[in-house]
Amino acid sequence: MSTLVRANAWLKDTSDRLNPILVKETRQALKSRQFIVTFLLMLIAAWLISIFGTLAAGDSLEFGSAGRGLFTSYFVVLALAIFVVVPYSAYRGLLNERDQATLELLNITSLSPRQLIWGKLWSAMTQVFIFYSAIAPFIAFTSMLQGFDVALVAFSLGISILVTLCLTMFTLMLASIPQNKHLQGLMTGAVFLGLLFVISMIFSVVPAMLMETLPVDEVGFWVFVGAIVVGGLSFFFLFTQIATAHLTFDADNRSTGIRVACTAQFVLYWSMVVFAQVMLGRTIFSGGDDVAVLVTFCLLYVATCGFFAATEADFVSRRVRRGIPKTELLRMFATPFLPGGHRGFLYLVLHLALIPVILKWLFVDSFNPSHWEGWWTVTFLLYVLAYVGLGTAFGRALRRLSAEVRPMHVRVIIFIMFAMGTVVPYLPLLFGTREYEWIYRILRVMNPIVMLELVSRINYANDLATSELIALGAAAGFGLLLNVRPMWIGFREIMRQPVSPSPTSKSPAATQQAAPAEQSA
């Protein structure tokens, strides 16, 4: 048997073991008009850049830095293909599966939703690698010119893979969300506008960045790069969990993977802060503004995760119950990550409680009277508890009245409450400035933007806004109090769940019936 025959047999055998979605999508993509047109346009653009760029460079080919300029042009062409065309084609591919009702057929096969998502993703990445191989000869041409920076080229091409992974998984996540025709059109328009923004960034920011020299000898640069890589991979994992959850049937566990991913990002975020302090010194986040920015990003992220977790339906299917841990200790730790809005609010409260503790540990002086960032954190935290707590309690009351109330309805209610709290304090000012200013002072506690701005300017040693903070604390405490009993019910529901027998184990009755039969035999 010749080498070619053996290689062909090996490739055929290997392709049978691959993800079937990957094989199907790759075959369809490589034969599609979109891929062929993009591939040819990229080659034509790179060829024209080579010809006219060489002619325009003149003597700088030998004595100047024409290599960097040509590489920047080639990279822009490559970026248009891998940052725009590939993510959008992946988005449309999964969306077409839903529109043509083939997604339901795939769900009844032995393929899992994760296999479907990964097959779509690696099909897109196969196109990316083909685009890389097409532009590689032109980049190799620039390596023979002056001004070619190996570190810059390697860094740019490596980071581009991570960016493409995140963009593609993000578009697959959006395509996996069930939508009606109207929302689908709005989502497609939003994705298109987002990719137009990416195009504008490619033509404006990328050339300027590639003309700079990388500070590879500085520790801060590698800390920054490490933070980008870790953050990108963590968001990639989160997008994967969300996409998989939306393609999973309703009775399965859709929440645990997403909550674990959010907690992992929470831990990684503060771990990177500690790592930056160790590598660059504790004074890197010395100012109050730096600490407030760190806390604000963390609180916004935790509030967003808790907003979706706390507004879920308070229901656990039998399929999920069978997967509950057997030991009480594992159940206690797993309870906040299991489905259910009451456990979702517990998940939010636990994460919010950790933030002031971490802040006090990393920045000892943050809660001193002369520092405002600690009270900024407490104020922000109280607003999250107030709006999410009151909104989820109201949504739970509506569910008792009607079974048609869905998690999306509760989320809209919380959004309306936040919008009213932002707008209502300004309504009395429409009738006059001085006469109704005292009403505005009473109602401004509802507006988090105004209060946080006020907190950032107050000298707490002399001018603490005591009445506003007491009112805000009372609202947050009331929202928390309304959810204490549901949280306890959700916790007790998991802890008192009977241990499900394994499929291979026999029931006691069957064992007792089998014993006399064995004795008589």
pLDDT tens digits, 65-108: 777 888 888 988 999 899 989 999 999 888 888 777 777 676 67
In the chain, pLDDT over 90 holds for what percent of residues? 31
In three-state form (DSSP H/G/I as H, E/B as E, the rest C), the secondary structure along 36-64 is HHHHHHHHHHHHHHHHHHHHHHCCHHHHC
Q: Strand ranges (DSSP E) for 99-231?
A: none
* pLDDT score, position 248: 84
Residue 35 near residue 138, CB atoms below 8 Å: no
Tell me which amino acid residue 212 is: E
**Nearby residues of 160 by Cβ (< 8 Å), 6 or more positions away:** 78, 79, 82, 83
* pLDDT score, position 260: 95
Whole-angstrom Cα distance, residue 386 to residue 475?
6
- The chain-wide mean pLDDT, for the chain, equals 82
Q: In which residue ranges of the chain is pLDDT below 50?
A: 460-462, 502-521
First to last CA, the chain: 59
pTM for the full predicted model: 0.85
Phi-psi region of 145 (alpha: psi -120 to 50; beta: other; left: phi over 0): beta
**Nearby residues of 331 by Cβ (< 8 Å), 6 or more positions away:** 324, 325, 494, 495, 497
Tell me which amino acid residue 61 is: L
**Rg, the chain, Cα only:** 29
* pLDDT score, position 506: 47
DSSP characters for 404-434?
Answer: T--HHHHHHHHHHHHHHHHHGGGSGGGG-SS
Longest dimension (CA), the chain: 102
* pLDDT score, position 263: 95
Tell me which amino acid residue 33 is: R
* pLDDT score, position 510: 45
Whole-angstrom Cα distance, residue 429 to residue 505?
71
- Return the SS3 of 464: coil
- CB half-sphere exposure, 243, CA atoms < 13 A: 30
